[in-house]
Amino acid sequence: MKAQSGVTLVELLVSLVIGLFVMSVLIQSYVNAKQNQAITLHNNQIEQDASYALQLLAKDIRRAGYLGTLLSDETIRGSLPPAAPNKMCDNTLDWGSMIQQAMLGLNDSLTHNTQYTYAACIKESHYLRGDLITLRYLSANTIPHTELKNTLNQRKLYMRTSSTEGLLFQGKDYNKNYLPIIANSEVRRVLSHTYFIGSSSVPGDTSCKNNNTIPALFRLRLNNKGLPKREELLQGVEDIQFLYDVDSNQDGTTEQTLQAHEIMNWQDVRLVRINITMYQPCITSKNNSYSTRVALKNKRS
């Protein structure tokens, strides 16, 4: 019988080399696919966060100056008269009761080398970078008497309005702030928000972080005592810049686009341009800047 022979050692080694090469190619392809998938998911998450931040800011900017049925903010009085508009942010009731100042912007103190004037309620350690914007308006929903009588709401800020008059007060004084029945008045809650960039208090992904500071979008809002309270809204917003289109001659057409420090009368602002930069420590090549424009809806002459 003819002798049978197996695979030679050389043939076996060649087969192993070819197999290892094919395996390494497959492994590298898998790793690349996973990396590309991770980058795609990361980019999608950043775009979703940017879209959310822009929508949040745009929604509040559109609401700025809303006073319910009241036609003029010059007729506001009450047991808590409106505080005179100014650029300071004191940790008092004045910050929320500046209802006649529907919008106020401040330039980035770092890039414009200006005095940081919001330190009264935003500590320097809380502020990181970027412009600031303050927006004030009344709630969309009217407030029932049951909420006004609740002892937990005694120090919240409210406004009772008709078409001709507004009464600003704290919940504990609602009995002192009535308008004639013929005025058909409504009560709404006073809302005051300041947006800024600070350092996040929530741990983030450290796999490719290049420093210890993760930025986030913050907001000051009125708490149950009518005072400003800081809250973190969204991690990963690195910077915010605002530009303002103004109509100084009140002809319905904007003439120029200005930065906050160039605006003489905030009643002239008709449109706000928002630009945000998202934090991307792992990716440096992709554009991480997003923008939108928002027209103001509640302008008064």
Q: What is the pLDDT of residue 169?
A: 95
Q: What is the pLDDT of residue 100?
A: 92
Q: What is the pLDDT of residue 20?
A: 84
Q: What is the pLDDT of residue 18?
A: 85
pLDDT in tens, 121-136: 787 788 888 999 999 9
Residue 218: closest CA among 118, 139, 141: 118
Q: What is the pLDDT of residue 294?
A: 94
Q: In the chain, where are the structural domains located?
A: 33-295
**Residue range 246-266: mean pLDDT, rounded:** 88
pLDDT score of 106 more than 60: yes
User: Kindly report the CA angle at 267 between 139 and 247, in degrees rounded to 5?
Assistant: 125
Query: What percent of the chain has pLDDT above 90?
Result: 46
Q: What is the pLDDT of residue 133?
A: 93
Per DSSP, what are the bridge partners of residue 237?
278
pLDDT in tens, 183-222: 778 999 999 999 999 998 877 655 555 556 789 999 999 9
Q: Between 3 and 189, where is the model more confident?
A: 189
pLDDT score of 300 more than 80: no
- Give the confidence band of 88 by pLDDT, cuts at 50, 70, 90: confident
pLDDT in tens, 107-164: 886 655 555 566 667 877 888 889 999 999 999 999 998 888 888 999 999 999 999 9
Q: What is the pLDDT of residue 15?
A: 81
Cα-based distances in Å from 133 to 104, 107, 205, 230, 243: 6, 9, 29, 14, 11
**Residue range 217-242: mean pLDDT, rounded:** 93
Q: What is the pLDDT of residue 213?
A: 77
pLDDT score of 78 more than 80: yes
Q: Which helix (H) or strand (E) holds 256?
A: strand 256-258
pLDDT in tens, 37-59: 776 677 778 888 999 999 999 99
Q: What is the pLDDT of residue 218?
A: 96
Q: What is the pLDDT of residue 243?
A: 95
**Residue range 294-298: mean pLDDT, rounded:** 88
- C-alpha 58/C-alpha 53 separation (Å) is 8
- C-alpha 130/C-alpha 41 separation (Å) is 27
User: Residue type at 36?
Assistant: N
pLDDT score of 250 more than 90: no
Q: What is the pLDDT of residue 98?
A: 93
